[in-house]
C-alpha cells in the first residue's frame, strides 16, 4: 500500500503572546527588545509518522499532548515550523462537527455550505443530498433554520455531511460522542464501513473503548513527542497504565 500521510521530523512551537497591540510591541522594540515579548512551548517535537493507505490509526494521549495539533498539520490548517507533512489524495476532516454551520440558515442551505467548505462540488452535493438527509434523520425539518434544531439534530446533520464528503483520508477529532446511543452506534458503524472500504482514518478521541473498536494502530503522544507506535490494544494499555 502506498503512503497516505507522511509526517517527517515536524516541530511546532506555539507562541503564547502576551500582547496584542502595536503600542506594546513598539515599546518593546524601542526598549531594545529586552525580555521576551512572548512565551513559547513545544506543541510538537520531532514527530515522525507514516500512515499507509487504508490504515486506521488512533492518536492517543492526555490533554495537551499534541494530538489535535498533529491532526491540524495533516489537514493543512497549520504549517510546521520545521520538518514536512505530505498527504496523498483528498483529505477531509470530521473536525469539530458543525464548524461551518450557520445558525440563521436552513438545514438545506447548511448542507450545501458545509459540503462546499469540506470540498464537495455542487454536483456531488446534489447527488448525495437525499442520502445526507436520510442519514441525519432530519426529515421535513431540513428547511427549518438550524437554530431551532435540537443539539442532537444539529450534530447529526453536521456529521452526515462530513461522512458524505468521500475523501481519501479522513481525520476524525473527538466527534464520536455525537447524539444519543443509537446514533452513536450508527456513526461508528459508518466509520467502520469507511475503513472497510479502504479509506485511511486518523482518529483522535479520549473514548478509548470506542477507539479500540475502530482502529488497528495506536500512536501515543506525550508533550508533543511520539512515545509509542504499535497495535491499538498495546497503546490503550500503556495509556491506561500511565494514567494510574
Partner 1 sequence: MSTGAPALIRPGLGGGLGDVVRARFLLKLLVRKELKVRYRGSVLGLLWSYVKPGVQFVVFYVALGVFLGLEQSPTNKGGLPNYAVYLFSGIVLINFFTESLGNAARSIVGNGGLIKKIYLPRELFPVASVWVSAVHFFPQLVILVLACFLTGWHPTLLQLASAGAGFVIVALLATGLGLLFGAANVYFRDSENFVDMLLMIATWASPVMYSFTMVQEKLGNAWYTLYQVNPLTVGVEAFHFAFWLPTTDGSAGIPPHLLSFWIPIALLVSIAVLVLGQLTFRRLEGRFAQEL
Residues that bind partner 1 (CB under 8 A): 2-3, 6, 14-15, 17, 20-23, 25, 53-54, 72-79, 84-89, 91, 93, 95-96, 99-100, 102, 104-105, 109, 112-113, 116-119, 121-122, 168, 198
- Nearer to partner 1 by Cβ, of 76 and 139: the residue is 76
- Nearer to partner 1 by Cβ, of 54 and 228: the residue is 54
Cell of 92: 477531509
**Measured from the CB of residue 242, what is the shortest distance to partner 1 in angstroms?**
27
Burial degree of 40 (CB within 10 A; 0-12, 13-18, 19+): exposed
What is the spatial distance between Cα 229 and Cα 51, in angstroms, rounded to a whole number?
11
- Nearer to partner 1 by Cβ, of 161 and 208: the residue is 161
**Measured from the CB of residue 81, what is the shortest distance to partner 1 in angstroms?**
10
**Measured from the CB of residue 121, what is the shortest distance to partner 1 in angstroms?**
6
- Nearer to partner 1 by Cβ, of 64 and 100: the residue is 100
What is the spatial distance between Cα 86 and Cα 92, in angstroms, rounded to a whole number?
14
What is the spatial distance between Cα 65 and Cα 221, in angstroms, rounded to a whole number?
6
**Measured from the CB of residue 69, what is the shortest distance to partner 1 in angstroms?**
9
**Measured from the CB of residue 125, what is the shortest distance to partner 1 in angstroms?**
9
Strand order across the 200-204 sheet: 91-95, 169-173, 200-204, 56-60, 217-222, 225-231
Sorted by sequence, the CB contacts under 8 Å of residue 165 that are 6+ apart come out as: 92, 115, 118, 119, 120
- Nearer to partner 1 by Cβ, of 80 and 220: the residue is 80
Amino acid at each position: 500500500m502506498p503512503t497516505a500521510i507522511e509526517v517527517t521530523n515536524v516541530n511546532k512551537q506555539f507562541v503564547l503572546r502576551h500582547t496584542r497591540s502595536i503600542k506594546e510591541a513598539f515599546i518593546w522594540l524601542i526598549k531594545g527588545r529586552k525580555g521576551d515579548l512572548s512565551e513559547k512551548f513545544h506543541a510538537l517535537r520531532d514527530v515522525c509518522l507514516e500512515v499507509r493507505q487504508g490504515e486506521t490509526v488512533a492518536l492517543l494521549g492526555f490533554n495537551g499532548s499534541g494530538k489535535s495539533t498533529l491532526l491540524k498539520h495533516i489537514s493543512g490548517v497549520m504549517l510546521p515550523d520545521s520538518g514536512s507533512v505530505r498527504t496523498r489524495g483528498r483529505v477531509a476532516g470530521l473536525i469539530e462537527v458543525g464548524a461551518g454551520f450557520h445558525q440563521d440558515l436552513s438545514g438545506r442551505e447548511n448542507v450545501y455550505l458545509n459540503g462546499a467548505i469540506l470540498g464537495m462540488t455542487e454536483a456531488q452535493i446534489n447527488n448525495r443530498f437525499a442520502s445526507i438527509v436520510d442519514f441525519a434523520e432530519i426529515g421535513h425539518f431540513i428547511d427549518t433554520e438550524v437554530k431551532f434544531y435540537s443539539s442532537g439534530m444539529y450534530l447529526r446533520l453536521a456529521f452526515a455531511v462530513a461522512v458524505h464528503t468521500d475523501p481519501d483520508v479522513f481525520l476524525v477529532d473527538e466527534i464520536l460522542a455525537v447524539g444519543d446511543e443509537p446514533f452513536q452506534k450508527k456513526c461508528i458503524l459508518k466509520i467502520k464501513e469507511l475503513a472497510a472500504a479502504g479509506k485511511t482514518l486518523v482518529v483522535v478521541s479520549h473514548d478509548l473503548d470506542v477507539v479500540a473498536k475502530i482502529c488497528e494502530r495506536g500512536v501515543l503522544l506525550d508533550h508533543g513527542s511520539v512515545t509509542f507506535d504499535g497495535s491499538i490494544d498495546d497503546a490503550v494499555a500503556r495509556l491506561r497504565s500511565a494514567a494510574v
